[in-house]
Amino acid sequence: MARTLAMFTDVSLCIGCRACQVACKQWNQLAPEEPEWTGTYQNHHHFTDKSYRLVRFFEQSDGQGALTWHMMSDVCKHCAQAGCLEACPTGAIYRTEYGTVNINQDICNGCRYCVSACPFGVVAYNEDTGTATKCTFCNDRIHNGLGPACAKACPTQSIRFGFRDELAAQARKRVDDLKRMGVKEAQLYGEDQSGPVGGLNAFFLLLDKPSLYGLPENPKLPQGNVLVDSLLSIGAALMVGLGAVVAFRDRGGKGSA
Amino acid sequence: MEPGLLKSADWPFLIDLYFFLGGIAGGAFVIATVATLLDAQRYRDLTRVGYYLALLAILPGPILLTVDLGIPSRFLHMLMVSKPTTAIGMHAINIGPFHLKPFSPMSAGAWALMVFSACAFLAALLTFLEDRGNPRLGTTRLVIGIVGGVFGFFIAAYPGVLLGATARPLFISAHWLGALFLAVGAATGGAAIALVLSLVGGQTSDSLSRLMKVTAIALVLELVFLALFVVSVSATGSRGIREALAQLLVGSDAIFFWVGAVVVGLVIPLLLQVGGVIRKATPGMTALVSALVIVGGFLVKYVIIVAGQRVLS
């Protein structure tokens, strides 16, 4: 495996211009969509089959009349342990040599299991192609020595692309700097490879707790349930089987009423 | 904010129907096998109905699943496809173009469905040939019955494990769905055999009464697993999970859950069974109880799948 690549989205530098969203749409030739009124500059509410990057906007009140305006460019996290990849029954979803997660459109048969298995609600079903789609980490670009289109377009270097270990070091330094500057709640999300789902290959610097940004505090790999659920099912099978034996065993002709 | 971010697979009614029929097929097959193992002669009618029902109930399965795919012509990709890479998940088994992903219940389920369908076909065929007076095929049928029984349990249970392996708030911290679906499968499978036998007539009430007994045992287990499901999910703190559970228990799905699944499908049949149907199983009462169990078994799966897939804002 080649050295793992990553994207680092630093929310503290985001100005909400949505150039990343536009660049993503253009490079990946994603069709236009009907706009959605979300009450903010955000469009759409969620990732769609035609929007792989999504800048989220929201306001946070301190309860005394002061508002903080938050913006964050969200994207597929390319989880080290990916729920969509583990769920996929066809092998369409695979891990590239760079550690990113991609959906092979020629293999996907549109069962939509991955859509419900993503802990971040990223994967979307495309009605037109009958397949599941999501951010490809610009698979074509990274295999030709270019970074993802969103990172290329970002005017403030809020989205950075590079080797995971180098980006993680930059991210840790940036958090320290921000904390020194008095941004007490600054924190990294998904940088820790010993953390939930083995860390994220698209990780974030947030200015407040993850739930504020709509991110799960402690994302879980859904397939972590499979072993326990299966063992409980086997236990249930034994009980049902025993019950059937009790019901059908001969009791000296007493059973024939 | 958290739960609204998650997406739903939006599986349509076809999938609910398959999960329900698969449960009947698996349950009926297992019960037929146990009965024939214990006394092939006495339970001849019961076994025949069980194996025929299992085949009939599983036949629509692959069709329902294929129709639901975004690209139905790619149905074989569930089992085989030539892939550019084998990095397709933990413990994935790749043999040539074939793949099995033990931690993807849908992948394992596709293989199990194939094996079980073959067993259901062979068991029904051998039963048919035996009835036509062909030489004793009992041993072969027994082997098919045991292998198919194991996979029958699998077919009944795996949809629950499959739901449990999604990020949906109602399912992510649930562990009892596989066990619950298995119990529902056994109850509805037993009830389906009993319903057919009681309608066909000419039965000693011995078989019916034993079927009512195995159905009652499955219903008790179903009740226990359903309670464990609700209690274990409600014990996990997250707000999104609590909202999803509230949707099932007091929200717009609650009437199906309480009246349909619990009262009609569990409480009334159990009371009737304990109140006398097991002791003296008349065809009329057996048919009534069986019909209630089947309706309730459908509703309990249906309402859980629907509530789990509903996207909360």
- Give the largest CA-CA distance in chain B: 67
Nearest CA to CA, how far is B225 from chain A (Å)?
A: 9
A161 in a structural domain: yes
What are the Cα distances from residue A102, in Å, to A42, B91, B240?
A: 26, 19, 28
Give yes or no for residue A250 having a pLDDT over 60.
yes
Q: Give A126's contacts in chain B (Cβ within 8 Å).
A: 70
Domain that holds residue A11: 5-222
pTM: 0.95
Closest residue in chain B to residue A98, using alpha carbons only: B87
Q: Are residues A87 and B39, on separate chains, in Cβ contact within 8 Å?
A: no
DSSP string, chain A: -PPPEEEEEEGGG-----HHHHHHHHHTTPPP------SSS---SS-BTTBS-EEEEEEEE-SSS-EEEEEEEE----BSS-HHHHH-SSS-EEE-TTS-EEE-TTT-----HHHHH-TTS--EEETTTTEEE----SHHHHTTT---HHHHH-TTS-EEEEEHHHHHHHHHHHHHHHHHTT-TT-EEES--TTSGGG-BSEEEEESS-GGGGT--SS---GGGGHHHHHHHHHHHHHHHHHHHHHHHS--TTTT--
Is A231 a domain residue? no
Amino acid at A172: R
| Mutation target vs A (from B15, B42, B172; most A CBs, 10 A cutoff) | B172
| Chosen from A116, A215, A249, A254 to mutate, greatest number of chain B CBs within 10 A | A116
Q: Is residue A80 part of a domain?
A: yes
pLDDT at A1: 65
Nearest CA in chain A to B313: A45
Q: Could you tell me if the ipTM is greater than 0.85?
A: yes
- Element at B50 (helix H, strand E): helix B44-58
| CATH of residue A121 | 3.30.70.20
Domains of chain B and CATH, by start: 2-309 (1.20.1630.10)
Tens of pLDDT along A172-187?
999 999 999 999 999 9
Tell me how close the Cα of A228 comes to any Cα of chain B, in angstroms. Answer: 7
Q: Is A256 part of any domain? A: no
Give how many domains chain A has, as a whole number: 1
Q: How many CB atoms lie within 10 A of CB A66?
A: 8
In the DSSP assignment, the letter for residue B78 is G
Contact assignment for A116 to B105 by CB distance below 8 Å: no
Whether residue A238 is contained in a domain is answered as: no
Cβ contact, residue pair A109, B78, below 8 Å: yes
- pLDDT attached to residue B4: 57
Residue A229 lies in a domain: no
- Residue A257 pLDDT more than 60? no
**Taking CB atoms and an 8 Å cutoff, what residues of chain B touch A257?**
204-206, 209, 279-281
- What is the mean pLDDT for each group of 10 consecutive residues in chain B (313 residues)? 71 96 98 95 94 98 97 96 91 95 98 98 94 82 96 98 95 95 98 95 82 97 97 85 90 93 96 89 93 97 93 68
In a domain, A150, yes or no: yes
Count Cα atoms within 13 angstroms, Cβ side, for A1.
Answer: 12
Q: How far apart are CA A41 and CA A224, in angstroms?
A: 37
What was the pLDDT predicted at A110?
97
User: What does pLDDT average to over chain A?
Assistant: 94
Inter-chain CB proximity A255 and B206 less than 8 Å: yes
d(CA A99, CA A123) in angstroms, rounded, equals 17
What local confidence, expressed as pLDDT, does residue B302 receive?
96
Give Dmax over CA atoms of chain A in angstroms. 87
Size of interface A-B (CB pairs under 8 A): 258
Cis peptide preceding A44, ω within 30 of 0: yes
**Is residue A95 in some structural domain?**
yes
